[in-house]
């Protein structure tokens, strides 16, 4: 059962807080969106001189935000892609400061305005901007040219190339409020919340400005706090930072929690000489995540939590992260018992963080320093410091972020596996970055993800330990033994298994976990210093890494790249559920439901407040005859089982029951009817796994690929009897076909070694 009403509610709340990407001009916010169609050229040969004088009308066109590798013709292009478009400045901007902002371009980029280089940026996941006030033309169109180069890559995920996030022109007065960073940290001993708001003001004029900042905060129920005022002097042609501090009684606030994600709104305006100059609004949560001894505490409660790694990936969206995909994925992860993880090896999209804030999913955010011989793992690296600066500056106010990570699986590139450690430079890199993060944010956990901490040569001095708040480690087999070895070498701190797996689960719907992985997940529950685990991964993802299946879809997920569920989905939902057991039985006279809480020494383990049971009764024809709910008391780990017995008044023959969280998400199910998964039949044709409209007006087809398949042929048309169109491709796993948005669509396909598949209809 899924509560579609609650999903719709979350959609409304989430989408209403996001920028209207379809609006070309928003004068109220003084923002001009440059999203939409851009001219595009993929080339590793053209000189920059020729590109600056090219006839762009002869180029292809692509959508921004977007990735070129979702398009058939550029599916495997690696290198430099060039984007160009023209824009004009609104008349009322002529006396404004004007900036151009890119939310993300993968991975290195250069930007030219009217043929002149504005600058370059390294890092494919964080925003950057340029002040173009002195260069932009106000009386005629301007030309913007962007180079995106996806040559650099780390990790097994696909290096999606292009302008992957929004592009905007921003206009503001000479004095603007650059950002407001808020920390709201409870002190449970004193019963107070310490509030600190750091304001950064930019003054682009040649005169000092006396500035007044007015601050208003409202709570989850729109209750308003007393307004605050801060005075500062903004230095001429410079940046000024000043901090506003005050306290609030703990009893007067609502804490942010993964089951109760209460958010506050911070609205600030700046004025000079009684003239309002700028305004900024942010959301924040009041919560405290800390490591004490070998335990994690959230809001003064010891918690042991599980989660999922999720790769920012879809075969037709690339890594652009549309709102609907994020909403569905994170709600699904929450339904699977996920509440906490280092979610992926790179800064995530802003809209994903907004949704995690609203739904209560906690994450550690990481910069993409990955693997043996990681080229950026060098001491005092200005590049990685800049990545951390950009990530933390952008994401500081998000309640869902509870920690920062310096990288993943960093190790010596040489030698045998059993002898691997970090090199001295890698070790110093981590410690330098930990110091840098501490200078930027003292309120969150600091960590790095290790795969060497259990090995024979690991010890303080070649494995970061002293400056970490939380030890994170990855394990793919013998996890119980590895964690024990790591703890023996590095005692006194909690350990979170940031990636756990055993082998690729498989691509088909009957794919399931190995017995060894289930055994390891059960064994690590007994270790008091292990505070949780995160499955690699929630979703399958595109990859050209070693051991990837021919479809280019790496099959580690409990859902496939199209989000179809595998058998492993139900397995992990039961393993990660907040209760140990849920059973429902029915006979002619009685209905019985039993719920068994987790033990204190279990994973997950936390207090359950505001949960409910929802059960539905069915007659012998399978028709629903009754649906009821049971409000549950606060349930703590170690509590006795709860049993509920009712008279079977409607003479029902079947009962389904679900455990629902306070966020109206069903996290565990049980039924008196024992179901079975239909067997997956082997077929001598490709299977169409996905068929849907694409955002750019075509039809996207996802299909299975075998080791023997080389060429695929598609026949398609307006009816199953009239498949008049035909095309072939060597692309594996995903293909786009141009098609009218108003016409019905039917398709079948075959490979060079198979029969035709059944014809499939596009459902509207």
pLDDT tens digits for range 358-404:
999 999 999 999 999 999 999 999 999 999 999 999 999 999 999 99
Domain for residue 168, yes or no? yes
Specify whether the CB–CB gap between 214 and 227 falls below 8 A: yes
Tokens of 729: 């491709």
3-state secondary structure of 9: helix
Nearest CA to 287 out of 304, 305, 300, 306 is that of 300
d(CA 253, CA 185): 11
Distance CA 447, CA 466 (A): 11
Task: Examine residue 678 and state whether it is found in any structural domain, yes or no.
Answer: no
pLDDT of residue 2: 38
Report the alpha-carbon distance of residue 330 to residue 631 in Å, rounded: 25
76 belongs to a structural domain: yes
Token representation of residue 350: 């802003």
Query: Same domain, yes or no, for 447 and 584?
Result: no
Helices (H), 472-604: 479-489, 515-523, 567-576
Residues 477, 561, single domain; the answer is yes
Backbone angles phi, psi at 224, to 5 degrees: -95, 135
CA atoms lying within 13 Å on the CB side of residue 584:
23
DSSP 8-state symbol, 598: P
> 96: burial class by Cβ within 10 Å (0-12, 13-18, 19+)?
middle
Amino acid 651: pLDDT:
84
Domain's final residue, options 576, 611, 636 = 576
Q: What is the DSSP letter of 446?
A: E
Q: What angle do CA 422, 427, 428 make, to 5 degrees?
A: 155
Beta bridge partners of 239: 202
Distance CA 555, CA 546 (A): 12
CA angle 346, 396, 103 (to 5 degrees): 55
Helix axes 382-395, 424-440, angle to 10 degrees: 30
User: Residue 378 in contact with residue 385, Cβ under 8 Å?
Assistant: no
Distance of CA 295 to the CA centre of its chain: 25
Give 1's contacts (C-beta < 8 A, 6+ positions apart): 614, 616, 656, 658, 666, 669
* Residue ending a domain, choose from 628, 646, 671: 671
6 inside domain: no
Whole-structure pTM value: 0.95
Q: Is 355 exposed, middle or buried (0-12, 13-18, 19+ CB in 10 A)?
A: buried
Residue recorded with tokens 């001993």: 189
Shared-domain flag, residues 716 and 747: yes
CB-side neighbour CA atoms (13 Å) of 495: 30
Residue 20: per-residue pLDDT: 39
| DSSP-H helix ranges across 494-560 | 515-523
Residue 582 β-bridge partners = 595
694 and 730 inside one domain: yes
Which residues of the chain carry a pLDDT beneath 70? 1-29, 675-681
Residue 561 belongs to some domain of the structure: yes
CATH of the domain at 424: 3.20.20.80
Eight-class DSSP state of 56:
G
CA gap 337, 307 in Å, rounded: 7
Q: What is the rounded distance in angstroms from the CA atom of residue 60 to the CA atom of residue 589?
A: 70
Q: What is the pLDDT of residue 402?
A: 98
Q: What is the Cα–Cα distance from 518 to 361, expressed in whole angstroms?
A: 24
Asked whether 620 and 652 are in contact (CB, 8 A), the reply is no
Kindly state the helix (H) or strand (E) to which residue 389 belongs, with its residue range.
Answer: helix 382-395
Residue 408 sits in the same domain as residue 535: yes
Q: Is residue 16 part of a domain?
A: no
518 and 663 in a common domain? no
Specify the 3-state DSSP secondary structure of 187: strand
Measured between alpha carbons, how far is 377 from 428 in angstroms, rounded to an integer? 9
* Three-state secondary structure call for residue 551: coil
Question: Are 342 and 211 contained in the same domain?
Answer: no
Is 748 part of a structural domain of the chain? yes
CATH code of residue 44: 2.60.120.260
Instruction: Specify whether 139 is located in the same domain as 97.
Output: yes
**Do 249 and 321 share a structural domain?**
no
For the record, the structure tokens of 494 come out as 């909690």
**Total domain count for the chain?**
5
Find the distance separating the first CA and the last CA of the chain, reported in whole Å. 23
Residue 614 lies in a domain: yes
In degrees and rounded to multiples of 5, residue 360 shows phi and psi of 90, 45
CATH code at position 596:
2.60.40.10
Question: Which of 102, 241, 93, 245 lies closest to 178, judged by CA?
Answer: 241
**Distance of alpha carbon 585 from the chain centroid:** 39
Tell me the three state secondary structure of residue 411: strand
Domain limits at 627?
579-671
Exposed/middle/buried for residue 283 (C-beta within 10 Å: 0-12, 13-18, 19+): middle
Which residue(s) pair with 196 in the sheet?
Answer: 183, 245
Residues 235 and 212 in one domain: yes
Within this chain, do residues 27 and 134 fall inside the same structural domain, yes or no? yes
Q: 454 and 394, same structural domain?
A: yes
Helix (H, G, I), strand (E, B) or coil at 618: strand
- Residue 526 — φ and ψ, nearest 5°? -80, -5
Q: Which of 576, 601, 629 is the last residue of a domain?
A: 576
- How many CB atoms sit inside 10 A of residue 592's CB? 16
Torsion from C-alpha of 633, 636, 640, 645, nearest 10 degrees: 30
């Amino acid at each position: 059962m899924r509560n579609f009403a609650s999903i719709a509610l979350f959609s409304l709340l989430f989408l209403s807080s996001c920028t209207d990407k379809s609006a070309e001009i928003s004068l109220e916010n003084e923002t001009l969106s440059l999203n939409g169609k851009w001219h595009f050229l993929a080339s590793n040969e053209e000189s920059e001189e020729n590109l600056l004088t090219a006839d762009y009308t002869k180029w292809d066109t692509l959508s921004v935000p977007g990735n070129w590798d979702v398009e058939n013709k550029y599916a495997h292009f690696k290198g430099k892609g060039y984007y160009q478009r023209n824009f004009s400045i609104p008349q009322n901007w002529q006396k404004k400061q004007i900036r151009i902002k890119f939310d993300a371009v993968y991975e290195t980029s250069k930007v030219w305005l009217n043929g002149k280089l504005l600058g370059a940026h390294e890092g494919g996941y964080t925003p950057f901007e340029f002040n173009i006030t002195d260069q932009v033309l106000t009386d005629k169109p301007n030309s913007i040219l962007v180079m995106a180069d996806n040559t650099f890559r780390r990790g097994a995920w696909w290096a999606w190339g292009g302008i992957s996030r929004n592009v905007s022109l921003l206009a503001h007065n000479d004095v603007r409020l650059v950002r407001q960073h808020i920390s709201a940290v409870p002190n449970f001993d004193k019963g107070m919340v310490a509030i600190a708001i750091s304001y950064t003001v930019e003054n682009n004029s040649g005169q000092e400005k006396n500035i007044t900042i007015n601050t208003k905060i409202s709570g989850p129920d729109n209750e308003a706090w007393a307004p605050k005022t801060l005075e500062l002097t903004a230095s001429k042609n410079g940046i000024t930072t000043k901090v506003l501090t005050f306290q609030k009684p703990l009893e007067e606030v609502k804490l942010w929690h993964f089951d109760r994600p209460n958010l506050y709104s911070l609205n600030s305006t700046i004025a000079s000489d009684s003239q309002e100059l700028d305004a900024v609004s942010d959301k924040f949560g009041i919560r405290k995540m800390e490591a004490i001894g070998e335990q994690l505490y959230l809001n003064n409660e010891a918690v042991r939590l599980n989660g999922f790694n999720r790769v920012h990936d879809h075969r037709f969206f690339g890594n652009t992260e549309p709102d609907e995909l994020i909403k569905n994925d994170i709600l699904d992860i929450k339904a699977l018992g996920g509440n906490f993880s280092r979610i992926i090896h790179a800064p995530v999209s802003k809209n994903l963080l907004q949704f995690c804030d609203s739904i209560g999913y906690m994450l550690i955010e990481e910069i993409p320093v990955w693997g043996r011989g990681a080229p950026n793992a060098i001491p005092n690296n200005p590049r990685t410091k800049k990545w951390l600066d950009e990530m933390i500056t952008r994401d500081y106010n998000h309640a869902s972020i509870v920690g920062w990570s310096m990288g993943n699986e960093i190790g010596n590139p040489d030698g045998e596996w059993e002898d691997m450690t970090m090199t001295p430079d890698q070790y110093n890199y981590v410690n330098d970055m930990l110091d840098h993060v501490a200078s930027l944010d003292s309120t969150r956990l600091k960590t790095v993800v290790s795969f060497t901490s259990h090995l024979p040569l690991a010890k303080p001095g070649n494995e970061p330990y002293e400056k970490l708040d939380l030890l994170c480690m990855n394990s793919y087999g013998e996890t119980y033994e590895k964690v024990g070895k790591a703890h023996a070498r590095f005692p006194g701190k909690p350990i979170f298994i940031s990636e756990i797996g055993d082998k690729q689960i498989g691509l088909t719907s009957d794919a399931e976990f190995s017995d060894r992985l289930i055994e390891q997940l059960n064994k690590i529950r007994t270790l008091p210093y292990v505070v949780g685990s995160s499955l690699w991964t929630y979703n399958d993802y595109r990859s050209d890494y070693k051991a990837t299946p021919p479809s280019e879809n790496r099959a580690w997920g409990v859902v496939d790249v199209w989000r179809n569920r595998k058998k492993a989905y139900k397995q992990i939902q039961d393993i990660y559920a907040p209760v140990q057991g849920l059973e429902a039985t029915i006979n002619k006279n009685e209905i019985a439901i039993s719920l068994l809480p987790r033990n204190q020494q279990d994973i997950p383990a936390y207090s359950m407040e505001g949960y409910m049971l929802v059960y539905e009764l069915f007659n012998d024809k399978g028709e629903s005859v009754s649906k009821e709910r049971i409000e549950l008391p606060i349930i703590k780990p170690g509590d006795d089982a709860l049993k509920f017995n009712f008279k079977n008044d409607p003479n029902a023959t079947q009962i389904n029951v679900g455990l629902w969280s306070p966020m109206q998400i069903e996290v565990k199910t049980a039924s008196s009817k024992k179901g079975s998964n239909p067997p997956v039949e082997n077929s001598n044709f490709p299977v169409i796994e996905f068929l849907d409209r694409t955002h750019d007006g075509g039809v996207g087809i996802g299909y299975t690929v075998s080791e023997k398949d080389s060429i695929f042929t598609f026949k398609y048309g307006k009816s199953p009897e009239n498949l008049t169109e035909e095309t072939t491709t060597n692309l594996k796993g995903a293909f786009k076909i141009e098609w009218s948005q108003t016409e019905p669509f039917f398709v079948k396909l075959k490979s060079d070694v198979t029969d035709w598949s059944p014809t499939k209809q596009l459902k509207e």
